[in-house]
Amino acid sequence: MTKTVITYGTFDLFHVGHVRLLKRLSKLGDRLVVGCSTDQFNELKGKRTIMSYEQRKEVLESCRYVDGVFPESNWEQKREDVLREEASIFAMGDDWVGKFDELSDIVEVIYLPRTQDISTTEIKELVASVKQDKKQELLNVCDHLMALATRL
User: What residues act catalytically?
Assistant: 45, 47
CB atoms within 10 A of CB 30: 12
Q: Are 32 and 26 in contact (CB under 8 A)?
A: yes
Beta strands in the chain (DSSP E): 4-9, 31-37, 68-72, 87-93, 108-112
Q: What is the SS3 assignment for 72?
A: strand
- Round to whole Å and give the CA distance between 58 and 151: 56
Please name the residues in contact with 96: beta carbons below 8 A apart, sequence gap of 6 or more: 111
